Amino acid sequence: MLLGVDVGGTFTDAVLVAGGRLYTAKAPTTPADQSVAVLAAVRAALQQAGAEPAGVRGFAHGMTVATNALLEGRGARTVLVATEGFTDVVELGRQARADLYRLCAAHPAPLVPPQRRVAAPERMSPDGPLRALGPEGAAQVARAVAACEPEAVAVCLLHSYRHPEHELAVADALREHLDDAVHVSLSHEVVGTFREYERAATTEVDAALSPLLAAYLRRLLERAAEEGLPEPAIMQSSGGLADAGTAAAHAAFAVLSGPAGGAAAAALLADRYGEPDLLCFDMGGTSCDVCVVEGGAVRETAGREVGGRPLALPMVDIHTVGAGGGSIAWRDPGGALRVGPRSAGAEPGPACYGRGGTEPTVTDAHLVLGRLDAATPLAGGVALDARAAHDAVAGLAGDLGLTVGACAAGIVRVADAEMVRALRVMTVERGVDPRRFALLAFGGAGPLHAAAIAEELGMSRILVPRASGVLSALGLAAADRRRDRAHTVLLHGDALTAPALSAGAGPGAVAYDVRYRGQSHELTVRGTGPEPAAVREAFEAAHEERYGYRDPTGDIEVVTIRVSEVEPGPLVEFAAPSTGAGWLEGPAVVALPEATLVVPEGWSGEADATGTIVLERAA
């Protein structure tokens, strides 16, 4: 038996694959300690299957502990050690405005305040030391750090991606002067690539969040052991699993742990359906995550910003917006109807959950419009209160001067617009035509919005898996194990040779970050050997696709070599119990085990052999 558990902002989902069948369960997320909801969902899934924990041979977990802490600016008491003269590198950043046309907008404050930034009396160049640190210099740094009484330390020295000797010396001194419980993150171990600001910011995030994630994983491992479950593997932002020890040591690797499970599921289903090109949106209770599967593979990126903070780490290319079933609708100062990003979350949840929520949400709007059945509890046993939903929407409708029905319809349309905008960011704004893709809709609220979003984007085909409401958890159960390494090499001219590229690679799938010399950023190319001519051709094809031109006479530079060691995940085979839907002709509403599908007029389809509902739009 294989087990996948995904923690969302509103619900925690569990999928158990046993004997070729799927058993699913939901439990309300417990923000104070997510492991409580994890075990509740696991017990419910095992009970459905009539199985015992001892029979589970694989347990994979995606969570939002690191994500939430980063977005909220929470973390352990952290000290930053940087080269003398560079201690403010994270605060200075790139000297770019947070928003070009909003002068009052600000970047998030660094996780380490000025009084806890320690200067290291050293200077390393790309070719070696200009100013040696020495044992006394390292001890001086350690004493200054100890005086700050830290819970974590981030060490980021100049050019340590190539010469880590001084960082290692600082780490040795810190071990002598600090308690063993203090976490230490070294930038060359966390990132391993150049660009000082991004490397320092990522290391700071890693140090500040790792103690929080480690504490959560300790509780989870203890509870799992008490239940007789195996140790869970943890989903990384890259879309692959790592052991719990690796995740606890480097929380930055798991900042997008939750959304990455959905991307893993999308790749699994692209192969299962024979649909290599999918535009995927995962709409849960708190947010909507969007990704693209092209040629059967999920797009990846070498780094991105999360909560306004750069993370220079490999991760699945996901765009997230605050539009979920629990997103709160409100009237802005200009009198316009807005939805999100604030969410009712799991506590108290939407007004219709009957747990004390009074503000109108997207879920309340769907209930008012009759798209959800008040007589049927949601997955997880949540009973719906139609009167509470009506009252919540009515309050906003009065402020806007609308009828209750018009207000509810407006809430849904505004939420649709937010998700369409996110999907356009991943397609139209990158030169990709969404009309040639099929739309894969999942998450508890995704199928409610699928057809409206497809119509807005000009798409004509929708896939809704039977287990759409818990698909991210299914993706976790089938995910690969993965380890990523990256090393900046800066090879060009006569130095750019096949032996040099091979020496910097090693075992695993290799990718190269390449640019024309003089450019400030790179494009990542994959699927090519170490021959410079092959790398050049792949880069120029990517450059032409992205920017519309290539320069055959330009000198190229391989900046970074990236290696991914992947151990394929288990082959998940499962039967396809009936969805209860034969041929569908819109308008119709279809109740799935953990979600609800709205089929508008002009759409029709049926369930295929996997239990997936395939809808087509009339020409």
Measure the CA–CA gap between 460 and 279, rounded to whole angstroms: 12
Sign of dihedral through CA atoms 131, 132, 136, 140? positive
Q: With 90 as the cut, is the pLDDT of residue 165 above it?
A: yes
Tens digits of residue pLDDT in 401-426? 999 999 999 999 999 999 999 999 99
pLDDT of residue 159: 96
Average pLDDT over residues 503-512: 86
Environment class of 546 (CB within 10 Å of its CB; exposed 0-12, middle 13-18, buried 19+): exposed
Q: With 90 as the cut, is the pLDDT of residue 228 above it?
A: yes
Q: With 90 as the cut, is the pLDDT of residue 345 above it?
A: no
- The number of CA neighbours under 13 Å toward the Cβ of 235 is 37
Tens digits of residue pLDDT in 277-319? 999 999 988 888 899 999 888 988 988 888 889 999 999 999 8
Measure the CA–CA gap between 580 and 296, rounded to whole angstroms: 29
Tens digits of residue pLDDT in 536-547? 999 999 999 888
Q: With 80 as the cut, is the pLDDT of residue 576 above it?
A: no
Measure the CA–CA gap between 202 and 207, rounded to whole angstroms: 9
Specify the residue for token string 């419910």.
Answer: 44
pLDDT of residue 271: 85
Return the top range by mean pLDDT from 32-36, 459-463, 592-596: 459-463
Q: With 90 as the cut, is the pLDDT of residue 517 above it?
A: yes
pLDDT of residue 574: 60
pLDDT of residue 221: 96
Look up residue 483 and give its two tokens.
């380890």
Comparing 252-256, 322-326, 448-452, the range with the smallest average pLDDT is 322-326
pLDDT of residue 600: 94
Q: With 70 as the cut, is the pLDDT of residue 59 above it?
A: yes
pLDDT of residue 109: 92
Tens digits of residue pLDDT in 261-273? 989 889 888 888 8
pLDDT of residue 535: 96
Q: With 60 as the cut, is the pLDDT of residue 577 above it?
A: no
Look up residue 302 and give its two tokens.
């070498």
Q: With 90 as the cut, is the pLDDT of residue 570 above it?
A: no
pLDDT of residue 508: 84
Q: With 70 as the cut, is the pLDDT of residue 581 above it?
A: no
Spell out the SS3 assignment of 339-408.
EEEEECCCCCCCHHHCCCCCCCEHHHHHHHCCCCCCCCCECCCECCCHHHHHHHHHHHHHHHCCCHHHHH
Average pLDDT over residues 42-46: 95
Percent of the chain scoring above 70 in pLDDT:
98
Residue 483, amino acid: R
Q: With 70 as the cut, is the pLDDT of residue 70 above it?
A: yes
Tens digits of residue pLDDT in 242-254? 999 999 999 999 9
Tens digits of residue pLDDT in 173-197? 999 999 999 999 999 999 989 999 9
Average per-residue pLDDT for the chain: 92
Higher pLDDT, 577 or 340: 340
- Domains observed in the chain: 2-69+214-252 (3.30.420.40), 77-206 (3.40.50), 268-322+415-475+574-617 (3.30.420), 327-414 (no CATH), 482-567 (no CATH)
Average pLDDT over residues 512-541: 94
Comparing 112-121, 134-143, 175-184, 465-474, the range with the smallest average pLDDT is 465-474
